[in-house]
Amino acid sequence: MAKLLIDIHTHVYLPRYVSFLRARSSVPRIFSRNTAEGKTEERLLILDGEPSGGRPMGPQYWDREQKLSFMDRHGIDISLVSSANPWLDFLPASTAHSLANELNNDLEEYCSTSPSLSAAGGTTKRLYGFGLLPLVPDVPITSLVDTVKQITKLEHLKGIILGTHGVGKGLDDDALEPVWSAIAEAGLVVFLHPHYGVDGKEWGKKDNGHVLPLALGFPFETTIAATRLILSGVFDRHPDLRILLAHSGGTLPQLSSRLASCIDHDPIVASRLQHDARYYLGKLYFDAVAYGAEELGFVSDAIGRAEWFAARPSSAAASKEQGLALRALGSKRMLFGTDHPFFPPLSSTEKWKSVVENLEAIDGVHGWSETEKDAVRGRNALALFGIPSAK
């Protein structure tokens, strides 16, 4: 089997969505303004109060040719494309439902009409996708389940991208139980991705651009959502549910033993879970978008040790026996990603620094052989998403 490079964290604003954002007068919206050089530029405002008037917007966000050209430039064979935040979070329920359906059909077409992986043709495409659910307050749960069914029927959509707010009360909301059932039964992969960060007052008064909300807020949000999911017992009730965490799980790995300790010291919370908190990291998947080899090595340790914690009370003493064997084990649940078209290079260069760093990080993990590195770069994605590799 040829070695493939597969990007499972790469975003698009589909043309229908872009038109929708252009027509809006409040955030999220796309607006035009004149530059100092007398040209017109479009900018995307995702949240109120973004520094420097939002971010520059161009066809890299919607044009499939630019996605494919980016892939070619970086040697990426296949991409699993997902809509970028804020998805449909800001819409009333009925609009969200109809737009989700339309965007899912659009994305299916975006993928199904993409080039074949092999120049000789074949059914394996270069683009696959994650669909959208209309996760907004007041949406009927049946609409969500219906949309899961719609996505299941769209052959090139292999999963669903989810934010963290659910239908307004977060992902640990009991009301979502039928949605988890439907997703697990359909075998779709949930890609859990941040959008809101944490309260902006935490960042203080200094102007640090987007650095603090992006570098810290995003991973914090993912960590909180994943932890609340663990505490809600979702993984005990749906052991087959496959959830992929953005940005290598945020900070869940580094806080997982502290989390286990805090739960241990609260008998009521502990009694609701079948396992030590660290066990659930072995049920999750993690992208490899962490920009550093030591980070990836550690995330794979945290996944690899999960099985020690199947029983309660668990024995941490097991750790002394294992060393780097953990790391190989954990690599099976980690998958390369780029976060394209975000983190663009500051100057025009052949390759994007953000992509190069993520590839170098995989290559630099101490204790991963080429087998593990190849798995993280592509083989894990083929298996997780059920993509035919040789057709």
> By CB under 8 A, what part of segment 205-224 binds its own copies?
205-206, 208-212, 214-216, 219-221, 223-224
Region near its own copies per CB under 8 A, out of 18-26, 63-71, 123-131, 253-261 = 253-261
CB neighbours of residue 338 within 10 Å: 25
Helix (H, G, I), strand (E, B) or coil at 185: helix
Q: Is 1 among the residues that bind its own copies (CB under 8 A)?
A: no
Among 19, 33, 41, 262, binds its own copies (CB under 8 A): 262
Q: Which is nearer to its own copies, 27 or 212 (CB)?
A: 212
Q: Which is nearer to its own copies, 39 or 205 (CB)?
A: 205
Rounded to whole angstroms, the Cα distance separating 328 from 326 reads 6
- What is the DSSP code string of 135-171? --TT--HHHHHHHHHHHHHSTTEEEEEE-S-TTTT-T
- Residue 240 CB partners (closer than 8 Å, separation 6+): 184, 187
Helix (H, G, I), strand (E, B) or coil at 46: coil
Among 56, 66, 68, 291, binds its own copies (CB under 8 A): 291
Question: What residues between 157 and 176 interact with its own copies by CB under 8 A?
Answer: 169-170, 172
Region near its own copies per CB under 8 A, out of 35-43, 74-82, 153-161, 295-303 = 295-303
Rounded to whole angstroms, the Cα distance separating 221 from 163 reads 10
DSSP H or E stretch at residue 190: strand 189-192
Question: What residues between 342 and 371 interact with its own copies by CB under 8 A?
Answer: 343-344, 346, 353-354, 357, 360-361, 363-364, 366
User: Whole-number minimum distance, CB 203 to its own copies, in Å?
Assistant: 7
DSSP H or E stretch at residue 11: strand 6-12
Q: Is 294 among the residues that bind its own copies (CB under 8 A)?
A: yes
- What is the DSSP code string of 169-184? T-TT-GGGHHHHHHHH
Among 29, 43, 228, 238, binds its own copies (CB under 8 A): 228
Q: Is 95 among the residues that bind its own copies (CB under 8 A)?
A: no
Q: Which is nearer to its own copies, 39 or 320 (CB)?
A: 320
Q: Is 295 among the residues that bind its own copies (CB under 8 A)?
A: yes
